[in-house]
Amino acid sequence: MTSGGQRSLHQAAVAQFQRAADLIDLEPRYREILSYPKNEIIVNFPVTLDDGSMKVFTGYRIQHNNILGPYKGGLRFHPKVDLDEVRALAAWMTFKTALGGIPFGGAKGGLTINPGDYSIDEMRRIVRRFTHALGSNIGPDHDIPAPDMGTSAETMDWVMDTYANISPPGFRQSVKGVVTGKSIACGGSVGREEATGRGVLYSLRHWCGEHDARLDDLSISVQGFGNVGGHFADLAAQAGCRIKAVADHTGTIVNTDGIDIPKLRRHVDETGGVAGFDMADKVDTEDLFRIETDVFVPAALENQLTLERAKVLSARVVVEAANGPTTREADEHLFANGVDVVPDILANSGGVIVSYFEWLQNKSARAWSFDDVDSRLRELMWVAHDRVVHALRRYDCTRRDAAYIVALDRIIDVYDRRGIFP
C-alpha cells in the first residue's frame, strides 16, 4: 500500500491476476513468480542540452516475464512515469502477449519527462543515450521495446539506429527487430501505427456480435485523442458509429449528433488539442462520464474510471483502449450493474500483435501487405476474444477475470512443461 493507504498500480495489477488465479486454483509458486518482475533495470545517464548544460536522466526497463518468448513492451515518456507504474505496465504486457497467443513475454520501460520540454535534437540525444545505457539489456531475441505514450516511430528509429551502431559490424543489419513500431522506411510494418486503435474497434465488433448489436447503431465517448484514441475514433466513425464526446488534455467536447472526426483531426493537428473545435460544445471534464452513450472508450492514463465516475456512466460497455484505466472499485461497480468491461489486455492488444508481425517481417526480410497484416490481426484478436467468452461462460466471472484465465493457462502450461530451473 502507498502511504495514503491506496494500492499502488503494481499492487492493483497483481490483484487482477490473483483474482483469476483464485478461480483456477493456481499453484502458489506460480502466483509468487508472476507477482514480481524478473529484472528491474534502472539507468542514470547524462545528456548535454542545447544551452550547453548537462542533465542526468533516469530511465527504467522492467522485464516482467519471458517464459513464452523475448520480453516485449513499450517505452513511455511522460512526467508521471515512475517505477511502480512501469512495473504494473510490464506485468500487463506478460498477460497481454500470452492472451494474444504471440511468442513474447512482458516488459515496459520509460523516462519521467515531458518530451514537449525538449528540442528535437535534445530528444534524439536523450533517446540515444538511454538506448546506449540499456545496452545488451535489450535485443531482438531478448527484449524488444516499442512505442507507448510520448514515444513514436521516430523514437524507435533512433533506438534501432543506436542499437545497430553499438552492435558488431556483421550484426548491424540483422538487429532491426530490436524495436517494433519503427517507421516503414526503417523496417516498420504497414498498419502498425493504427493497430491498437484498429484492435479496439475489432474488440467492439466482437462485443456487438455477442450482443446482437450493430456498430452503426452505437454512440461512443472517447477519453484521449492520441495515437490510440485518435485512430480508434477515426475508424469507429468510418464504421458508422456516432462519436458523441472526445476528451484530451486540453478539454472535453460534445456533439450529440456526432463529432466530425476528420475535421476534428485537422483541428487537433493545427492547434494541438480538441479545445476550441467549433463544431462541438465545450463541457467540463466530469461531463464526459455523464453524457449518454452506449460505449465508453478510455484511451488515456491509468485509473481514470473511478467509482464516482463509474456510478454516473450510462454506457453498456467499456472498451479499455488504455492500460489500467479502471479502478478496482469501479470495476466491481460496473460488473454488479451489468456493464461489460472489455479489459485492456484484450482490447488494446492490437498494437503488440502487429509488433509481432513487424518482428516476423524483420526476421524474414519481407514486407507484408496491409491486407495480410489486417487479416492476421483480426484473426488473432478474434481467437483471443472467443477464448475469453468461453472462459467467461465456464467460470461465470468478469470478462477481465476470464482474460487472465486464458493468459494464465498459456503461461502455466509452459512452466509445467519446462519446470523451474535448476
Which residues are annotated as catalytic? 108
**Min. distance of Cβ 50 from ligand GLU in angstroms?**
29
Identify which range of 1-9, 335-343, 345-353, 397-405 contacts ligand GLU by CB under 6 A.
345-353
Interface with ligand GLU includes 59 (CB under 6 A)?
no
β-bridge pairing 317-319 and 340-342:
parallel
Cβ(323)–Cβ(81) under 8 Å?
no
Output 179 or 411, the one with its CB closest to ligand GLU: 179
DSSP readout, 334-347? HHHTT-EEE-HHHH
355 near ligand GLU, rule: CB under 6 A: yes
Which of 352, 384, 388, 403 forms a contact with ligand GLU (CB under 6 A)? Answer: 352
User: Nearest approach, Cβ of 74 to ligand GLU (angstroms)?
Assistant: 3
Q: Which stretch binds ligand GLU (CB under 6 A): 115-123, 350-358, 365-373, 394-402?
A: 350-358
C-beta closer to ligand GLU: residue 72 or 400: 72
- Interior angle at CA 392, CA 65 and CA 299, nearest 5: 60
Q: Which residues contact 35 (CB under 8 A, 6 or more apart)?
A: 14, 18
Binders of ligand GLU among residues 83 to 102 (CB under 6 A) are: 96
Which 99-158 residues touch ligand GLU, going by CB under 6 A? 146, 148
Kindly state the cell numbers that stand for 26.
493456481
Pick the stretch among 67-75, 155-163, 250-258, 412-420 that binds ligand GLU (CB under 6 A).
67-75
Q: Which of 216, 246, 198 is nearest to 381 (CA)?
A: 198
CB of 322 to ligand GLU, least distance (A): 9
Q: What is the largest CA-CA distance in the chain?
A: 65
Minimum Å gap between C-beta 412 and ligand GLU is 22
- From the list 37, 73, 101, 106, which residue makes contact with ligand GLU (rule: CB under 6 A)? 73
**Shortest Å distance, C-beta 356 to ligand GLU:** 8
99 or 235, CB closer to ligand GLU? 99
Q: Which is closer to ligand GLU, CB of 16 or CB of 348?
A: 348
Residue 180 in the binding site for ligand GLU (CB under 6 A): yes
Does 398 engage in binding with ligand GLU (CB under 6 A)?
Answer: no
**Residue 31, CA distances (Å) to 21, 34, 324, 415 in order:** 7, 5, 20, 12
CA 201: distance to chain centroid? Answer: 14
Residue 324 found at the interface with ligand GLU (CB under 6 A): no
Could you give the CA distance from residue 250 to residue 253 in angstroms, rounded to a whole number? Answer: 10
- For residues 205 and 197, the answer to whether their CB atoms sit within 8 Å is no
- Residue 146 CA to residue 74 CA, distance in Å, equals 4
CB of 347 to ligand GLU, least distance (A): 10
Q: Looking at beta carbons, which residue is closest to ligand GLU?
A: 74
- Do residues 200 and 381 make contact, with C-beta atoms less than 8 angstroms apart? no
Rg (alpha carbons) of the chain, rounded to whole number: 21
Q: Give the closest residue to 77 by CA, choosing from 162, 182, 147.
A: 147
Binding to ligand GLU by residue 351, rule CB under 6 A?
yes
Residue choice 10, 61, 64, 72 for contact with ligand GLU (CB under 6 A): 72
Contact range with ligand GLU by CB under 6 A, out of 231-239, 260-268, 348-356, 401-409: 348-356
Q: Is 342 in the site for ligand GLU (CB under 6 A)?
A: no
Q: How many helices (H) and strands (E) does the chain have?
A: 15, 12
Q: Are 90 and 76 in contact (CB under 8 A)?
A: no
Residues 6+ apart with CB under 8 A from 73: 89, 90, 93, 106, 107, 108, 109, 145, 146, 148, 352
Interface with ligand GLU (CB under 6 A): 72-74, 96, 146, 148, 180-181, 323, 348, 351-352, 355
